[in-house]
Amino acid sequence: MDLSFKEKEGKLIVSLKGDFDLHTAPGFKEAITKKINPQIRGLILNLDGIKFIDSSGLGAILVSYKKIKGLGGELGLLNVTPQVRRIFELSGMLKIINLYSSEKEALDNIFRG
Amino acid sequence: MDLSFKEKEGKLIVSLKGDFDLHTAPGFKEAITKKINPQIRGLILNLDGIKFIDSSGLGAILVSYKKIKGLGGELGLLNVTPQVRRIFELSGMLKIINLYSSEKEALDNIFRG
Amino acid sequence: MENKARLIVDSISENIGLCRVTVASFAAQLDFTLSELEELKVAISEAVSNSIIHGYKEESGKIEIEMGIFDGKLQIIVEDRGCGIEDIEEACQPTYTTEGRMGLGLVFIDSFMDEFKVESKLGEGTRLKMLKVPIQDKEIE
Amino acid sequence: MENKARLIVDSISENIGLCRVTVASFAAQLDFTLSELEELKVAISEAVSNSIIHGYKEESGKIEIEMGIFDGKLQIIVEDRGCGIEDIEEACQPTYTTEGRMGLGLVFIDSFMDEFKVESKLGEGTRLKMLKVPIQDKEIE
Ligand SMILES: Nc1ncnc2c1ncn2[C@@H]1O[C@H](COP(=O)(O)OP(=O)(O)O)[C@@H](O)[C@H]1O
Ligand SMILES: Nc1ncnc2c1ncn2[C@@H]1O[C@H](COP(=O)(O)OP(=O)(O)O)[C@@H](O)[C@H]1O
């Protein structure tokens, strides 16, 4: 899985590309831990490059959710493909995490405090 | 492998799509045998949909070459990808079979008798 | 048509993708939809991940995947010779996990496959037996 | 990193694509270029086709593919328990064939792999051992 990062309006946008599973989850968790700091109040994961995700990938996203919540921030998911969305639905995580369909929508709605 | 056929100017144009190997070669040979008749003097194989070819695929093309030659006709290959071209080169078949890069070029150059 | 294949891999996370790809390629001989093949991949991914993390606790070991096509049905068996599961019923509960994970692996397998059975013995290993039938063929029946 | 996997398939042409896909997916752990992976696929396809046509003469049998990564090198062994080859040197000659085929299979394997060895015994079977190293790593050496 490839990760790329950019910051906008104090929010960290991470684009993920590849397979998100037990093999790639540790690299994601490590990178997020390094990049997140108390200045960042919004984490936006762009998932349109994710070709595959399973419960290990979901688990890693949940970890990033807890991390940003712990700093008083919010997590949003961007460009979730139907296949990936289904896995999220089954997991119940959509009750706590919002989906957005454009970067602007995500930036406008996440942590406006 | 999927095959589709059309006739133009008395020539049979066959478009191949998929993997061309021991598994798919028999279907190709059978279809060519059915479709070729003494009225057809040119056989044009459009290979741009071929993702993979090995010596069994080459062998099947050689069979179709012999069949059309036996009827006094000619064989031409269309849109050969670099990967497939390399296999043809190694086999020495390019000494007897011509490559074309457009349907028009193939139609204009094959069996103008 | 009947067909069988078997894949045996070292128990390391590098091989999870390999297992998914191999099983999906084998399964493509039946008329599964793309979305069914995706479901199958998730099930395989969960099963193999479980063998790596829980079965072998990230120590070395072998994971065996048996693939079969019988009567138009796909049968997959994923087997490890790891620590085994003490209480299978409990393990299958949603969110039950012994490693601080999601506890959703077996739930996903159960929802994505048509039949699913766990056999396990403490100290001997775990064997997941799964069956999946293309939706097309289900409607004909 | 070391890694090993083994794929055992029924000797039917339906499984040739499966063998290619599995070996290419395993090999992708090394830094092979796309064109090197294509070469590898041709080699596997030829080896497995030979086992089906020549080794087992299209009768039933098992073909075993052993994949290994050692020292950044990919080692592949394709083995059948079919009829075996009488004269290995002759079999490796370009255009030599006993079945009215192209006689290019073993030639392709030899040109696409870095090392290639045939072991065979009449009545016992055939074992092709191949090695391939990513071009990148060759340049460093
Ligand atoms: N192959 C296995 N070997 C040993 N224990 C297992 C195996 N598979 C599952 N388990 C047990 O069942 C529990 C639930 O598994 P699962 O639903 O996949 O959730 P998770 O992997 O998130 O813990 C695991 O936490 C583990 O205790
Ligand atoms: N696995 C095998 N078992 C028995 N004979 C084999 C095997 N592989 C190759 N051979 C013999 O070697 C010959 C040359 O093989 P190859 O170069 O692949 O050409 P082809 O498959 O086109 O005949 C075959 O015709 C066959 O006689």
Does residue C141 carry a pLDDT above 80? no
DSSP A24-92: THHHHHHHHHHH--TT--EEEEEEEEEEEE-HHHHHHHHHHHHHHHHTT-EEEEES--HHHHHHHHHHT
Does residue D32 carry a pLDDT above 60? yes
Measure Cα distances from C81 to C11, C13, C51, C101 in Å.
11, 17, 9, 21
Helix (H) or strand (E) holding B111: none
Sheet of B42-53: strand order equals B2-8, B11-20, B42-53, B74-78, B98-100
Looking at ligand 2, which atom is closest to the CA of residue D104?
A: 17
Structure tokens at A105: 């929508």
Q: Which of D11, D44, D50, D52 to mutate to test the pocket of ligand 2 (most atoms within 8 A of CB)?
A: D50
Length of chain C: 141
* pLDDT, position D1: 73
Mean per-residue pLDDT, C3-21? 98
A41 vs D7, which has greater pLDDT?
D7
**C17 reaches D (C-beta below 8 A):** yes
List, for residues D46-105, the tens digit of each pLDDT value. Answer: 999 999 999 999 899 999 999 999 999 999 999 999 999 999 999 999 999 999 999 999
Does residue D140 carry a pLDDT above 80? no
Does residue C72 carry a pLDDT above 90? yes
Q: Is the dihedral of CA D8, B83, B80, A51 positive or negative?
A: positive
Are the CB atoms for C101 and C95 separated by under 8 Å? no
Exposed / middle / buried, residue A108 (Cβ in 10 Å: 0-12, 13-18, 19+)? exposed
Q: Which ligand is nearest to the CA of C46?
A: 1
Does residue D141 carry a pLDDT above 60? no
Mean per-residue pLDDT, C39-47? 98
Enumerate neighbours of C (3 or more CB pairs within 8 A): A, D
List, for residues A67-83, the tens digit of each pLDDT value. Answer: 999 999 999 999 999 99
Are the CB atoms for B43 and B73 separated by under 8 Å? yes
* pLDDT, position C139: 65
* pLDDT, position A77: 97
Looking at beta carbons, which residues of chain C come within 8 Å of D51? Answer: none
pLDDT over 90 percentage in chain D: 94
**Backbone phi, psi, residue D77, to 5°:** -120, 125
Structure tokens at A90: 């089954």
List, for residues C89-140, the tens digit of each pLDDT value. Answer: 999 999 999 999 999 999 999 999 999 999 999 999 999 999 999 998 886 5
3-state SS, residue D87: coil
Beta pairing, strands A74-78 & A42-53: parallel
* B105 Cβ contact partners less than 8 Å away, ≥ 6 residues apart: none
**Alpha carbon nearest to ligand 2 atom 20, residue:** D103
pLDDT over 70 percentage in chain B: 98
Among residues C36, C46, C79, C81, the one annotated as catalytic is: C46
List, for residues B41-79, the tens digit of each pLDDT value. Answer: 899 999 999 999 999 999 999 999 999 999 999 999 999
**Backbone phi, psi, residue D94, to 5°:** -55, 140
For chains C and D, what is the number of CB pairs under 8 angstroms?
Answer: 57
* pLDDT, position C137: 83
> Taking CB atoms and an 8 Å limit, are B22 and D111 in contact across chains?
no
**Chain D residues within 8 A (CB-CB) of chain B?**
13-14, 16-17, 20, 35, 38, 41-42, 45-46, 49, 52-53, 101-102, 104-105, 107-108, 111
3-state SS, residue B23: coil
- Please give the mean pLDDT across all residues of chain B: 95
Does residue D139 carry a pLDDT above 80? no
